[in-house]
Amino acid sequence: MATKIDKEACREAYNLVRDDGSAVIWVTFKYDGSTIVPGEQGAEYQDFIQQCTDDVRMFAFVRFTTGDAMSKRSKFALITWIGENVSGLQRAKTGTDKTLVKEVVQNFAKEFVISDRKELEEDFIKNELKKAGGANYDAQTE
């Protein structure tokens, strides 16, 4: 059966993360049968990491504050999490299902496909976003 996405509900969750006035910095998009729907959301990145278990596949949209002494700004990441115990067929399907998520989640600095919890570390993601962000005035003080 072909996967569908609840565009309206997912768009609402996406906009919560994009809103600088919102405390929500992450939201997951998970499978409810063959439909992708908004999952959990939160204000602490560590709470998001707890959602990433070995038997789950999901997508997440996360806001990070990056920058340097000269400017702080929000950067967004689209993370595809595929747990180690997810079957090969589901792994493959996740790649094609991501196109549905990208119909809603359109603005992000970098995309990640992660199966290893070490790669979920906040510093790792922030460093990758920093590299994607261009000018880095912190380099002058290193």
For the segment 5-51, what is each residue's pLDDT rounded down to a tens digit? 999 999 999 999 999 899 999 999 999 999 999 999 999 999 999 99
Residue 3 has pLDDT above 70, yes or no: yes
User: By three-state DSSP, how is residue 36 classified?
Assistant: strand
In the numeric block, which tokens belong to residue 52?
Answer: 């990433």
Strand 4-5, strand 72-82: pairing: unpaired
The answer to whether 52 and 120 are in contact (CB under 8 A) is yes
Q: Residues with Cβ < 8 Å from 43, sequence gap 6 or more?
A: 23, 24, 25
Instruction: Grade residue 71 by pLDDT with cuts at 50, 70 and 90.
Output: confident
Q: What is the pLDDT of residue 141?
A: 45
Residue 68 has pLDDT above 80, yes or no: no
Q: Residues with Cβ < 8 Å from 15, sequence gap 6 or more?
A: none
Q: What is the CA radius of gyration of the chain?
A: 15
Residue 122 has pLDDT above 50, yes or no: yes
Three-class SS of 27-68: EEEEEECCEEEEEEEECCHHHHHHHCCCCCEEEEEEEEEEEC
Q: What is the pLDDT of residue 73?
A: 84
* Single pTM value for the model: 0.90
Query: What angle do helix axes 88-104 and 7-18 make, rounded to 10 degrees?
Result: 70
Q: What is the pLDDT of residue 140?
A: 47
- The secondary element (H helix, E strand) that includes residue 45 is helix 45-51
% residues pLDDT > 70 (the chain) = 92
pLDDT tens figures, 83-103: 999 999 999 999 999 999 999
